[in-house]
Chains A and B, each alone.
Chain A
Amino acid sequence: MAERGAVAISGVHAVSALGRGADAQLAGVLAGAPAFRPVRRFDTTGRRVTVAATLPEVGTLTDELAEAIDTACRAAGLDAAARAECALLLATHGGPAADPGPDGGPEVPALAGHLARRGGLGGPTRIYTSACVSASTAVADAATMIRRGDVERVVVAAGYLVEPDQFALFDAGRALAADGAVRPFSAGRQGLLLGDGVAAVVLESAGAAHRRGGTPLATIRGWGRAGDAYHPCQPDPLGRGLARAVGAALRRAGLPAGAVGYVNANATGTGFSDASEAAALRLALGDVADRVPVSSTKSVHGHALEASGLLELVVTVLALRRGSLPVNAGWLGPDEACPLTVITSAPRPATTPYALSLNAAFGGANTALLVGAA
């Protein structure tokens, strides 16, 4: 059994409209150039909004996930024996096959077993369909499993590729930004835009990583999950659920609020949702909320729904390692409902080795992941 202690992130891979691979994600979020373009993947005739952040060439979701899992495992240096011990926690949309094409592979729930077999992962599998906290909940659960000693190593994988059904639903719900830009925490924000996101992360006990000669990229220091108990779809305007998730992450990490040097916010560019998150940060961090640098990288890569938490975790890990904090694109000016230190013009240097990655979803679901530099 694994020993208790730190949970290492020893391999990552991600794909988004910013490009393929970890380096492309980091370069993209530091450049701060939004990747939103007219959708060519399917017909958007009749939709109120017709842009998203999509890769020009993309495989089926199943194949992209399989490649992400394999690439993350190779990046972590896992051999076949190490893979055979890995659990696979998968975050994806339930329902009819989400793949853009008719030959997309198995549907949920068979998808996890299929991917585990393709990746040589022999541990338990689980599938999270908790909307926009699916991936971050999977990471929190993986960290718990490792710290408790259930398993030494877990691959968390997540995927969403922009497709016509969810696009039509978000359009019908008037959730998409009609001006074609995502402006988190900004005055004049009009909503979110969807984006491709496929990612995989290898988590393992620090001891297991050390024994096999692995080199951690970062650590998961803390995590928290909490609910609003407020509304089926709207966040608590006081941000109480998200604040409790942040508080739980800080407690598990044994860190004070002042240790947090960056927040990769959930902020989708939606009016009431971003304001709720600002309130949550104030509630959880106190005066630290005045000065901690905040950005939402959804402003450049879009909202990857079930995969958003993992894509944003990867970006946060890479930014911490580089020591450079991503820009919050689309900024028009401050909104008094969001009194935060938003990174608006150029990347900032990281001043502490700790960062929060936050996610929230329909149902009042909230998660916080506290990342530490290796």
Chain B
Amino acid sequence: MTAPAHPGRSRTPGPGESGRTAVPAAGTDRPREVRALAEARWPEAGDGAPPGVPGFVHSAFAPLVVAVADRCLRRRYGQGPAPVGTGTAIVLVSAAGDRPSADHVRATVAVGGRVGPLFFFQSVPNSVAGHVAARWGLDGPVVCLSPTGPAGEDGTVEAELLLYDGDADEVLLVAIEETPDGTPTGAVAALLGGGAGR
């Protein structure tokens, strides 16, 4: 894979990208600006089920994360990986992680069964975040959140905090959309940059 030249934060947003967005800083009413360098959804027009992900089974959770992350990052970095030294964090927001897999494990254990080892590796949302990080060379923090407010708000506040604090120069924010019973149905992603300084 060939990494495209780093386009820099000041370039004009391209297709699928958008400009600045103001988010509230945690615990304050002071808006801080972060920029959406690229955005994506899954599904978008023409999408079916997301492609499977090697090593992940049973659930659409990991495929959705990878599909929307890949789409978002491609809009910024082509085929990838991200430029060395970018320091991109991943913030993954989901109400209950991979709920279908967790429910499968609970049902299996409840009747004294043995769960497959792959379920161990996908038992926390970090794993698929790490898959994306390895694929794209994203070496910033890995943070998974369960939203306490409107979907995406906690993730945006967390992203802004990481950008401000300097452990990340960019943040790939992925939020899972799910039904009330935890079945993942879609995902949105944004690559955010441009913290307010530290």
Interface core residue of A94, A168, A175, A241 (most chain B CB under 10 Å):
A94
Q: A-side binding surface: helix, strand, loop or mixed?
A: mixed
Which of B97, B130, B138, B154 is close to A232, meaning CB atoms less than 8 Å apart? Answer: B130
Q: Is the CB of A232 within 8 A of B117?
A: no
Shortest distance in angstroms between B115's beta carbon and chain A's nearest beta carbon? 5
Given A94-B95, A228-B130, A169 and B105 contact (CB-CB distance below 8 Å):
yes
- The answer to whether A363 has its CB under 8 Å from any CB of chain B is yes
Question: Do A126 and B164 touch (CB < 8 A)?
Answer: no
Specify the chain B residue showing the minimal Cβ separation from A169: B120
Listed stretches A13-21, A107-115, A212-220; interface member: A107-115
Given contacts A94-B95, A126-B154, contact A112 B148 (CB under 8 A): yes
Task: State the CA gap A169–B127 with chains docked (Å).
Answer: 14
> Among the listed B90, B109, B125, which residue makes an inter-chain contact with A168, where contact means beta carbons less than 8 Å apart?
B109
Q: How many cross-chain pairs have Cβ atoms below 8 Å apart between A and B?
A: 203
Contact call B97/A129, Cβ cutoff below 8 A:
yes
**Interchain CB contact under 8 A, A175 and B144:** no
Contacts of B95 in A (CB 8 A): 94, 108-109
The reply to whether the CB of A150 lies closer than 8 angstroms to some CB of chain B is yes
B139 contact set on A, CB distance < 8 A: 226-229, 240-241, 244
Query: Are B106 and A145 in contact (CB-based, < 8 A)?
Result: no
With contact pairs A46-B114, A227-B142, A364-B133 given, residues A173 and B102 touching in the complex (Cβ less than 8 Å):
no
Name A86-133 residues within 8 Å CB distance of B. 87, 93-96, 107-109, 112-113, 123-131, 133
Chain A residue numbers with a CB within 8 Å of B115 are 168-169, 172
Bound-state Cα–Cα, A168 to B102, Å: 12
Q: Using CB atoms, name the residue of chain A closest to B140.
A: A227
A148 CB–B CB distance under 8 Å = yes
- Report the bound CA distance from A141 to B140 in whole Å: 14
The interface size bin for chain A is 35 or more
For chain B, residues 34 to 75, give those with C-beta under 8 angstroms from any C-beta of chain A. Answer: 55
At the interface, yes or no: B23 with Cβ under 8 Å from chain A?
A: no
B134 near A229 (CB under 8 angstroms)?
yes
Give the residues from 221 to 250 in chain A that come closer than 8 angstroms, CB to CB, to chain B. Answer: 224-233, 240-241, 244, 248
Contacts of B167 in A (CB 8 A): 140, 224-226, 248
B130 adjacent to A172 (CB under 8 Å): no
Does the CB pair B89–A128 fall under 8 Å?
no
Residues of A within 8 A of B15 (CB): none
A150 touching B25, Cβ below 8 Å: yes
**CB-nearest residue of chain B relative to A240?**
B139
Specify which chain A residues have a CB less than 8 angstroms from the CB of B128 in the assembled complex. Answer: 232, 363
Q: Are B130 and A231 interface neighbours, CB within 8 A?
A: yes
Q: Pick the contact of B134: A46, A123, A169, A232 (CB < 8 A).
A: A232
Residue of A nearest to B102 (CB): A95
A126 B158 Cβ-Cβ under 8 A: yes
Complex contact A233–B127 (CB within 8 A) = yes
In the complex with contacts A125-B148, A172-B114, A137-B141 CB distance below 8 A: yes
Interface presence of A327 (CB below 8 A): no
How far in angstroms is the closest Cβ of chain B from A2?
A: 10
- Whether A128 and B145, one on each chain, are in contact in the complex, defined by CB atoms closer than 8 angstroms, is yes
- Per-residue contact bits, chain B 26-37, to A (CB 8 Å; 1 contact, 0 not): 111000000000
CA distance A227 to B169 in the complex (A): 13
Q: What are 28 A-B residue pairs whose CB atoms fall within 8 Å in the complex?
A: A46-B114, A94-B97, A96-B103, A96-B106, A108-B95, A109-B95, A109-B147, A112-B148, A127-B154, A129-B94, A129-B145, A130-B145, A131-B124, A144-B164, A168-B108, A169-B120, A169-B123, A172-B119, A172-B120, A224-B167, A226-B140, A226-B141, A227-B89, A229-B139, A363-B124, A363-B128, A365-B126, A365-B130
Known: A170-B120, A224-B167, A229-B139; 20 extra A-B contacts, CB below 8 A, are A87-B27, A94-B96, A109-B95, A112-B148, A123-B27, A127-B148, A128-B143, A130-B125, A130-B142, A140-B165, A145-B161, A151-B27, A164-B109, A168-B115, A172-B116, A175-B120, A228-B134, A231-B134, A363-B125, A363-B129
Q: Which residues of A contact B (CB under 8 A)?
A: 43, 45-46, 87, 93-96, 107-109, 112-113, 123-131, 133-134, 137, 140-141, 144-145, 148, 150-151, 164-166, 168-170, 172-175, 224-233, 240-241, 244, 248, 361-365
Pairs A-B, 8 closest by C-beta atoms = A363-B126, A173-B120, A363-B130, A225-B141, A365-B142, A95-B102, A94-B97, A131-B124
